[in-house]
Amino acid sequence: MNTTAPRNTRGRSPALAPASLPAKILKAIVLVVACLLVVMPFVSVISTSLADQQQITETGGYVLLPDRPSLSAYSAILAGGVVARALLVSVGIAVVGTSLGLAVTSAMAYSLSRPSSFAHKPILMLVLLTMLFTPGIIPNYLLIKQLGLLNSWWSLILPVLVTGFSVIVLRSFMIGLPRDILESARIDGANDLQIFVRIILPLSKAALAVIGLFFAVGFWNSWFNALLYLNDPSKLPLPLVLRTYVVDNARLGAEQLSAESGVLPPAESLQMAILVISLVPILLVYPFLQRHFTKGVLVGAVKG
């Protein structure tokens, strides 16, 4: 089964070396196909954002490679600074929301990580139920209004500082942490806070990174609450502003007075440019987080 010659496993345990060439090839094929399926449409997205009206009209919507690439869609969107400002707003909301959200969520997950603790089951039930029953749009709106949070960015952050899903998943990671470390810390006299900060959090890096990513992406993409709660046009986050650039073909004819509209870049290239603009920050952030949830984090913690 195992060959006698040493394998180059690039620093990983020899036990993990793949057995055979066929397996390797199969894996390679699967991954290459998967990547192509994903990448091709994205190439089309970028190309379309750079294409001009004539080519779009010819190809009926999406182009594979632009004949006469132009940045006019991007400059149309970024002109006037509205989108740039909305981008800053979204970054701010994402940063504040993610940090606060992680803090509150990890704290709550920690409080639920000992199944025998007082009121454990009722609190857990409370969390679980939030995933099953959601309040309607209007009650949410009225609450925000009552709290005086209308037109404030806090209305976008506070209600989602914790979600049932993130608490339950994080809790499950924390429960799976080795008990003996915790017990030995307790024996050494550490209190709950110290255990949390010095042991639990560092050991949960992978899970925290993932949940943090979910938070960040959630905040970055969210627009519906902003739609309902923000009235001041200068406070709008990026996705909401970009939605007004998305041209609804069927509707446009009925309501657009175009005589004084000037010539906008074609609708499709605007839409694709919007997509690219909203993707770029995520693409920049993700690699930094990826490190945290792909390396083994328990190595070294249990030995000795």
Partner 1 sequence: MSAPLSRRTLLKLAGGTAVAATAGPSLSACSSSPTASRQQQNSGVELPAYVAYQGVKPDLAPTKEGVMSGFLRYPASPVAGVPDRPGTGAEELTAFIQQFRPIPPPASRNEYWRNVNDKLGVTLNLQMVPSANYADKLPTVLSGDLPDFTMIVNTPNLPQLLDAKCQNLTEFLAGDAVKDYPMLANLRPEAWRTTVFNGGIYGIPIPRERIGVIWFTRVDLVRSLGFDPAPTTYQEFKELAKGVTNPKENRWAFHGPAGVRDLILRMMGAPVGWQEEAGKFTSVHELEQTKQAISDTRELVKAGYFHPDTFTDGAPFKDWIGAGRVVMVSDNYSAWPQYVMQYLKPNSPVQLDGMLPPKYDAGAKPNLARGVPSFSTTVVKKTGDKERIKLMLRVANYLAAPFGTQEYLVNRYGKEGVDYTMVNGDPILTSKGEVEHTAEFYRIADAPWPLYEPGHPEETKKEHAYQVKAVPMTVANPADTLYSETYSRKRNTLNTLLDDALSEVLQGRKDVASWDDTIQRWRKQGGDQVRKEYEEAFAGSH
Partner 2 sequence: MALTTDKRPAVQPVPPATPPSTSRLARLKRDWGLLVFAVPGLLVFLIFHYVPLLGNVIAFQDYQPYLGVRQSPWVGFSNFALIFSGDPDVLNALKNTLILTLLQVGFVFPAPIILALVLNSLLYEPVKRIVQSVLYMPHFLSWVIVVAIFQQILGNAGLLNTYLRHKGIEPFEIIGNPDAFRALITSQVIWKDTGWGTILFLAALSRVDQEQYEAAAVDGAGPARQMWHVTLPALRPLIILLGILRLGDSLSVGFEQILLQQGAGTSVSEVLDTYVYHHAFQQGEWGISAAVGLVKGLVGLALVLGANKVAHLFGEDGVYRS
Quote the least distance from Cβ 92 to partner 2, whole Å: 20
Q: For partner 1, which residue of 7, 24, 27, 145 counts as binding (CB under 8 A)?
A: 145
Should residue 275 be labelled a site residue for partner 1 when binding is judged by CB under 8 A?
A: no
Nearest to 192 by CA among 301, 113, 120: 113
Should residue 16 be labelled a site residue for partner 2 when binding is judged by CB under 8 A?
A: yes
Q: For partner 2, which residue of 148, 178, 202, 233 counts as binding (CB under 8 A)?
A: 178
What's the Cα-to-Cα distance from 215 to each of 84, 116, 212, 254, rounded to whole Å?
Answer: 22, 29, 5, 39
Q: For partner 2, which residue of 25, 27, 95, 198 counts as binding (CB under 8 A)?
A: 27
For residue 168 the two structure tokens come to: 């339950």
Nearest to 48 by CA among 37, 30, 61: 61
Span from 41-49, 73-81, 84-92, 257-265 in contact with partner 2 (CB under 8 A): 41-49
Span from 107-115, 141-149, 200-208, 211-219 in contact with partner 1 (CB under 8 A): 141-149
Should residue 262 be labelled a site residue for partner 2 when binding is judged by CB under 8 A?
A: no
For residue 28 the two structure tokens come to: 């390679």
Residue 31 has φ and ψ, to the nearest 5°, of -70, -40
Nearest to 217 by CA among 42, 97, 86: 97
> What is d(CA 178, CA 301) in angstroms, rounded to the nearest whole number?
9
> What is d(CA 241, CA 247) in angstroms, rounded to the nearest whole number?
12
Do 43 and 64 touch, CB atoms closer than 8 A?
A: yes
Should residue 84 be labelled a site residue for partner 2 when binding is judged by CB under 8 A?
A: no
Q: For partner 2, which residue of 23, 65, 79, 95 counts as binding (CB under 8 A)?
A: 23
Should residue 135 be labelled a site residue for partner 2 when binding is judged by CB under 8 A?
A: yes
> What is d(CA 31, CA 239) in angstroms, rounded to the nearest whole number?
31
Question: Which does residue 71 bind out of partner 2, partner 1, none, counting CB within 5 to 8 angstroms by kind?
Answer: none
148 versus 178: smaller Cβ distance to partner 1: 148
Question: Which does residue 257 bind out of partner 2, partner 1, none, counting CB within 5 to 8 angstroms by kind?
Answer: partner 1
- Element containing residue 279 per DSSP (H, E): helix 267-294
Should residue 81 be labelled a site residue for partner 1 when binding is judged by CB under 8 A?
A: yes
Should residue 18 be labelled a site residue for partner 1 when binding is judged by CB under 8 A?
A: no
